[in-house]
Structure 1
Amino acid sequence: MIVMMAAVGALGIISALMSRRTVLPPIRALTRATRAIGSGELEHRVMVTGRDDFAELAQAFNCMADSLQAGDERQRRLKGDIAHELRTPLANLRGYLEALRDGILTPSPDLLDALHGEVLLQQRIVDDLQDLALAEAGVLTYHRTQVDLRELLHACHTAHQIQAAAAAVTLDISADISVYTVGDRDRLRQALGNLINNALRATSPGGTVTLELSRASGQPAIHVHDTGSGIPVEDMPHLFDRFWRAVPARGRVAGGSGLGLAVTRQIVTDHDGTIHVDSIFGGGTTFTLILPTTQEP
C-alpha cells in the first residue's frame, strides 16, 4: 500500500512537471505577444503548434492581430488619401489667389467660376467624409418614414435633367409600379444621386442613363443603367474604396469626390439593403439597390 501511494505521488509530481513544461511556454509566448501588440508592434504573431486548446487560442490571437494591423493600415491609407486629395487643389487655390492679390492675374468670370468650382469640390469631399465617418460610427442621423420609391425616382430624374442635358446624355426613367420602403427619403435620394452622377460622368455624349424601379424576389429594386464604357474586371473589387477612381484624373475634372460610392453603400446598408454592380467593359454598367419592402399606406 505504501509503495502504491508513493508511486501515485511520484506520478502526480511527474505529471505536474510535464504539465508545467507544456503549459507555461505557450502562455509566456502569448503574454509577450500581447505586450508587443499593446505597445504598437502590430506585426507580432505567435507560433501555432499542435491542435490543442493552446493552438486554437494562438490562432485566435493571430487573427485578432491581423485584424488590428489591417485596420491600422486602412487608417494610415485614409489619412494619406485625405492629405493627397486636399493638398493639390488647396495649393492651386492659394497660387491663384496670391496671383490675383499681387496683380499678376486679372479677375475674369471664367477664372472666378473655376475657383468657385474647386471650392465646391473641396466642400463636397469634406461633407462626404463627415457623412461616411458618422455612418461608419453608427451615429449618422436618419429620419425614417414611409418612402414612395416611384416618387423618389421621379424626383431624382427631374433633379438631374439639367446635368444630363449639359452632358448631352439622355436620362430615361421606367418607374410605373408603386413600391414603398421605410427609410430616410433625403439619405436615399443622396445615395441615388451619387449613382446617377457617376453614371452621367461615365457616359459619353449621345449615350443613355436609365433609372428603373422593379421588384426582386418581392423586394423593391432600383436600377441605374448606363451605356458608358463599363468597368474592367480588375477594377470591380475597388469600386467602393474611398478615393478610388478607375481613371484618377476623370473624377476630379468631372467634380467627383471619390467618396460617393462608399457613402452610397453605407446608406444602403444602414437601410438593411444591398447594392450590386454588373458591368461589361465597353458595354455599360448597372448598379442595383435592393431595399426592404413595406405595405402601401
Structure 2
Amino acid sequence: MERKMFRSIWIKFFIVLLIVSLFALSAAYILRELMIRDFRYYLEGEMEDKVYRVIANIEGSYEKYSGWNIDSLNENTIWALMLGLEIKIKDLNNRIIIDTETAFNKLSPSMQRRIKAITDIGLISKDKDFSPYPLFISGKEIGRLEVRFLYPEKEFFFIERSNRFLLFSLFAVGCAVTLFSIIFSRKLTEPIKKLDYAASAISAGDLKSRVEIAGSDEIKRLSETFNKMAENLEKQDLLRKKLISNVAHELRTPITVIKGEVEGMMDGLVPADKEHLLSLYEEINRIKKILDGIEDISQAEVSAMWIKKQKIHLKPFLKSIVERFSRIFIDKGINFEFINGEEIELNADPDRISQIVINLLSNALKATERGGNIWVKTGKHDSEVFIEIGDTGHGIKPDDLPYIFERFYKVSEGGLGLGLSIAKELAEAHGGRIVAKSTYGKGSSFTVFIPY
C-alpha cells in the first residue's frame, strides 16, 4: 500500500514537473530557432550586399577593358572569395570565363594558405545551387554571374553550440525532474503515510491514534483537522459508552421494579389492585421518558427536513409557555421575570421553539434553589431575534462549559445529557445558534439566536 501510494505520487510529480520543463524547453527551442533564423537573415543580407559590390566591380572591369580581362577577373574572383562568395562568371553563350576554383589554383601556395586562414573556403556546401545574377553595361546584358554563399564558420559554431546546449538541457532537466520528483514525493508522502497509518488505526478501533503536527502548510492543517476529528471520535465514543451505561442504569431500576411486582402478583404475594398497577404504570412511564430522550436526539438530527415555519408573535407565544411553569415557580419559591422590550415577529416552527424554551426553562428550574431568580428576555440583535433564559442557580464549571451542547454529556447526575444537544440541533435547524454563559456558583444564561 505504502509503495503503491509513493509510486503514484512520484509519477504525478514527475509528470507535472516534466510537462512544466517541456514547456520551458519548448519556449527555449522556439527562441533558439527564431534567433538562428534572424541570424541567417542577417548573414544573407550581408552576403547580398557583397554580391552587388562584386557585380559592380566586374561590370566596371568589363567597361574599363571593353571586354573580359582575365587578370582583372582573377582579382575580382579572389576578392569575392575573401568576402565569402564562390562565383562563376559566364558569357552570353553560357561558357565559364573564370570561376573561384580556377582563380584560387592560380595563386601561389603561400597566398592560398593565407586565404584559407582568413576565409571559410573549406566549408563550401556542394549540395547548394548557384544563384544567377545578370551583368549589364549601359542596359545591355554582357553575361551572368553565378554565386554560391560560403557558410561562415561562426554560423556552424553557433548552431552546433545551440544544439549541444539543447541536448545538455534536455538531459539536465530529465535528471533534475527525476531527482526533484523523488525528493518532493518523499517529503510529501511522509506525513501522508503517517496520516494513513493513523486513519487505519482509527478504523481498527484505536481512537487514541494521533499524528505529529509539523510544518506550516496544508499538510499541517490537515494533520490538525485529523487530530481534531480523532479527538471528537474518541470523545463521542466515550459519550456513547457512557450513554449505554446510563441507559442501562436508568432502565435497570424500573425494569427490576416491574419484574418484582409482576412476579409478586403471579405468586399471589402482591395483590393486582389499583395501587400496585399504578406503581407499574409509573415505572413504565420512566422507561418511556428514557426512550423518548433517545428518540428526540435522532429526530433533531433531521429536524431541517420537518421544520414548519410560520409567523410567531413572540411576546404572547413565550408568555403562554411560561404560564405552564408558574405553579412550579410558586411552589419552589423562585422569582420569575419576563423582559420584553418590543413586539417581535419571528418566522419559525412554534413547536420546535417551544421545545427549546421548555428545555432551557426546565434546566433553569433544576439549577435554581428556593429564593433564586429566573428570567426570560427577548430582543433583536443585528438580523437575529434572541431569546435569553437565565438563572441565579449553581452555574456550570468552566471545565464543563465547552462540552455542554455535546450529546450525552452530563454536568450532573441523572438524565441522559441530551436536552441541550437537542436544543442546539433545533436552533441550528432554523439557521440559528445557542450561546451559553455561566459563572460557577452564581448562575447561567442561554441565549437562542434565530434569524428573522
- Normalised by the shorter chain, which TM-score bucket? 0.7 to 0.9
Does 1:258 find its partner at 2:417? yes
1:201 aligns with 2:201: no
Distance 2:194 2:341 in 1: 64
8 Å Cα contact 1:134/1:140 also seen in 2 = no
Residue identity opposite 2:441 in structure 1 = G
**1:286 Cα deviation (Å)?**
2.2
Does the C-alpha gap of structure 1 residues 280 and 69 become closer, same or farther in structure 2, counting only changes over 3 Å? Answer: closer
Residue equivalent to 1:81: 242
> Normalising by the residue count of structure 2, what TM-score does the alignment of the two structures yield?
0.54
Aligned to 1:25: 186
Unaligned runs of 5+ in 2: 1-160
The within-5 A match list for 1:270-281 is 270-281=429-440
Q: Considering only CA atoms, is the larger Rg found in Structure 1 or Structure 2?
A: 2
Distance 1:210-1:80 versus aligned 2 partners, 3 A rule: same
Q: Cα offset for 1:4?
A: 3.0
SS for the counterpart of 2:401 is helix
Match of 1:146 in 2: 311
Indicate how the Cα distance of structure 1 residues 117 and 14 shifts in structure 2: closer, same or farther if over 3 A, else same. same
Q: Deviations over 1:65-97 (max 9, x none)?
A: 335423432442242132112101222122212
- Judged with a 3 Å threshold, the aligned counterparts in structure 2 of structure 1 residues 171 and 257 are, in CA distance, closer, same or farther, namely farther
Pairwise CA RMSD: 3.3
Gaps of 5+ in 1: none
* TM-score computed with the length of structure 1 as normaliser: 0.78
Deviations 1:22-70 (A, max 9, x none): 1342465436854773672573647856x6xxxx453354245335423
Is residue 37 of structure 1 aligned with residue 196 of structure 2? no
Determine whether 1:59 maps to 2:224: no
What are the equivalent positions in structure 2 for 1:101-120 lying under 5 Å apart? 101-103=262-264, 116-120=281-285
Separation in 2, partners of 1:223, 1:203: 16
Distance 2:449 2:295 in 1: 25
Instruction: Identify which of structures 1 and 2 has the higher relative contact order when contacts are C-alpha pairs closer than 8 Å and 6+ apart.
Output: 1
Deviation per CA, 1:182-227: give whole Å up to 9, x if none.
1100100000000110111111123332223334457433222223
Tell me: CA distance 1:240–1:176, structure 2 relative to 1, closer, same or farther (3 Å): same
Q: Does the 8 Å CA contact 2:255/2:283 hold for their aligned counterparts? A: no
How many percent identity over aligned positions? 20
* Aligned residue-pair number: 282
Distance change (3 Å), C-alpha of 1:134 and 1:78: farther
Letter in 2 for 1:285: S
1:138-181: CA deviation from partner (whole Å, max 9, x where unpaired): 65511100111112111111122233344343444334631111
- Does residue 123 of structure 1 match 2:288? yes
Give 2:247's aligned amino acid: L
Q: Distance in 2 between matches of 1:257 and 1:117?
A: 19
Matched residues in 2 for 1:118 and 1:164: separation?
26
